[in-house]
Amino acid sequence: MTGAVPEPVLVARGLRKRYGAVEVLAGVDLAVASGEVACLIGPSGGGKSTLLRCLNVLERPSGGSISVFGEALCRDDGTGVRVAPERTLRRARSRMPMVFQHFNLFSHRTVLQNVMEGPVTVLGLDREAAIDRARRLLRDVGMADREDHYPDQISGGQKQRVAIARAMAMAPSVILFDEPTSALDPQLVKGILAIINDLARQEITMLIVTHEMKFARDVADRVHFCDGGRIVESGCPDDIFQRPRTARLADFVRSIHE
Amino acid sequence: MHRFFFREVPEYFPFLLQGAWITLVLSLVSMACGLALGLAVALGRLSPYRAVRWPLDAYVELWRDTPLIVQLLFIYFTLPEFGLTLPAFWAGVAGLSLNLAAYLSEVFRAAIAAIDPGQRQAALSLGMSRVAIYRRVVLPQMFRATLPTVGGYFIALLKDCSLVSFISVNELLRHANIVIADTFDSMNTYIMVGFIYFVMSFGSARLIGLLERRLTPRHQRHGAAMLPGPKGAAA
């Protein structure tokens, strides 16, 4: 990247999260620039998913601060964490929806209704416009012929396509992906990664927790290695995968090549 | 037999139907109140605040662990001692709906807890408000899942209404007892009463069945052949 560094849309400083005695995040500093595709990699239990869930305050952080689009979602004044009012959180979430490992489609709604839900209830779009938007997005993810199916009638890979369309329907600035291919059969993974790859070419900022290293290397502008509740190393994919500076990252990179 | 069909039925049946009408109205009003109250109690018992949960827990236990007839007698005969006098019909509504709500709140609470929390997280992550999440995601699934059970409670309620004859509501059973006092013919009167209860309950069960069918997507309906899944479908 050359020239002026773009304004970060997503900043976390000293982010901590503990469950009882277990400290899952031990002070994470992270910045994601506008339009950037950032991948979070690292061993299981390293805090990647928790970090993602803290960023949109699905989980309440135990310490540190988060700001999104220049607006503080939570800050730590030394006496404890202050979370922004519900309305601020909702607005931020609607601009950076999340795609989940287990899809989490609304099981009582059809594919089309799943994609329409956000635009109608949150953005206040009228039904006709929401239907048009949903149909266009379903076509983009190859699900146009399944719009009247219910989630229990389609496969895992198809559910994830719908979930991505549901996130895209918010016309988001950022999308958070939480291991989007981890629950899928190997032959379905490729299709989902191809869709994310297409999105990466648009101007959408993406933060992706993934175990797909080849994908991270191909699509990411920046890779963050997360281990032991901290971001141990950050850099461009070549540096991270070919010139690791820390022993922990070197071990991790070696372990995935074995 | 001749006497039954050509004298008693024409003479007493309309009077019994009047009672049945009261039974039906009482059931419907109590059901509406019981549903609303049961839902409120279920939501309250899911509250993070102990001060909200504790009294509701106590209410549910108290009402489930005492007989309905005692509750009705208490409301009609004992509450006036404390300055609260209700007309018989409304005392019946209060007793039946408070009792029903205690049971329904447990049904609703279990159904809400059974909904995959991932769906709520997905709704939150789209920026939906808590109210919108309940209205759009949680409650529709809860109602569909509990409809057969709630229907069963309605049929039970229709018949439990006979208990309010003890607090002088002029419903079906009380009218029957008036007829018997007049004719001394308990057997034939109870045959008519049983027939009326059966028709009301059976009719309700069929209506609830239809409603359930309407609210269930075609492929999930009982007895529907599973639609062929897409190629390579995992589920």
What is the percentage of chain A residues whose pLDDT exceeds 90? 73
Q: Contacts of residue B141 in chain A, CB cutoff 8 Å?
A: 107-108
Q: Give, to the nearest 10 degrees, the angle between helix B9-45 and helix B88-114.
A: 50
Question: Per-residue confidence at B184, pLDDT binned at 50, 70, 90?
Answer: confident
**Cα A211 to Cα A206: distance, rounded to the nearest angstrom:** 16
Question: Per-residue confidence at A6, pLDDT binned at 50, 70, 90?
Answer: low
Q: Contacts of residue B228 in chain A, CB cutoff 8 Å?
A: none
- In tens, the pLDDT along A57-89 reads 999 999 999 999 989 999 988 788 899 999 999
Contact A100 B217 (CB under 8 A): no
Residues with Cβ within 8 Å of B186's Cβ and at least 6 positions away in sequence, in order, are B180
- Which one of A103, A122, A185 has the shortest CB-CB distance to B126? A122
Name the minimum distance, in Å, from the CA of B104 to any CA of chain A: 22
Q: Which residues are registered as beta bridge partners of A223?
A: A39, A235
- In tens, the pLDDT along A17-51 reads 999 889 999 999 999 999 999 999 998 888 899 99
Name the minimum distance, in Å, from the CA of B128 to any CA of chain A: 6
| Higher-pLDDT residue of B184, A150 | A150
Q: Is pLDDT above 90 for B103? A: yes
- What ipTM, to 2 d.p.? 0.91
DSSP output for B114-150: HS-HHHHHHHHHTT--HHHHIIIIIHHHHHHHHHHHH
Q: CA separation (Å) from A216 to A38, A99, A226, A230, A236?
A: 8, 17, 14, 19, 10
Q: What pLDDT does B23 receive?
A: 93
Name the minimum distance, in Å, from the CA of A51 to any CA of chain B: 14
Name the minimum distance, in Å, from the CA of A169 to any CA of chain B: 10
pLDDT, mean of residues B83-98: 94
Lowest mean pLDDT of A19-23, B78-82, B219-223, name the range. B219-223
DSSP output for B174-206: HHHHHHHHHH--HHHHHHHHHHHHHHHHHHHHH
Mean pLDDT of chain B: 89
Does the beta carbon of A98 lie under 8 angstroms from any beta carbon of chain B?
yes
pLDDT, mean of residues B47-67: 94
Beta-carbon count within 10 A of A65 CB: 18
Q: Is pLDDT above 70 for A3? A: no
Q: In this structure, are residues A50 and A17 in contact, taking their beta carbons and an 8 Å threshold?
A: yes
Q: What pLDDT does B234 receive?
A: 41
Q: Which residues are registered as beta bridge partners of A206?
A: A37, A175
Contact B127 A117 (CB under 8 A): no
Question: Per-residue confidence at A199, pLDDT binned at 50, 70, 90?
Answer: confident
Q: What pLDDT does A46 receive?
A: 83
Q: Contacts of residue B48 in chain A, CB cutoff 8 Å?
A: none
Interface of B with A (CB under 8 A): 116, 118-119, 121-130, 132, 136-137, 140-141, 144, 217, 219-220, 227, 229-230, 232-235
Report domain extents, chain B: 8-218
| Higher-pLDDT residue of A184, B71 | B71
- In tens, the pLDDT along A220-248 reads 999 999 998 999 999 999 999 999 999 99
Q: What pLDDT does A1 receive?
A: 46
Lowest mean pLDDT of A101-110, B7-16, B130-139, name the range. B7-16
Question: Per-residue confidence at A186, pLDDT binned at 50, 70, 90?
Answer: confident
Contact B124 A58 (CB under 8 A): yes
Which three-class secondary structure state does DSSP give residue A4? coil
Q: What pLDDT does B7 receive?
A: 74
Residue whose entry in the numeric block shows the structure tokens 């989940």: A100
Contact A105 B230 (CB under 8 A): no
Q: What pLDDT does B127 receive?
A: 95
Domain B8-218 superfamily per CATH: MetI-like (1.10.3720.10)
Contact B125 A153 (CB under 8 A): no
Q: What pLDDT does B153 receive?
A: 95
Contact B126 A170 (CB under 8 A): yes
The dihedral built from the CA positions of residue A120, A126, A129 and A131, taken in this order, carries a sign that is positive
Contact A150 B128 (CB under 8 A): no
Q: Contacts of residue B230 in chain A, CB cutoff 8 Å?
A: 146, 153-155, 158
Q: What pLDDT does B217 receive?
A: 86
Report domain extents, chain A: 105-171
pLDDT, mean of residues A92-109: 95
> Minimal Cα distance from A152: which residue of B?
B235
pLDDT, mean of residues B179-186: 86
pLDDT, mean of residues B175-182: 89
- In tens, the pLDDT along A126-174 reads 999 999 999 999 999 999 999 999 999 999 999 999 999 999 999 999 9
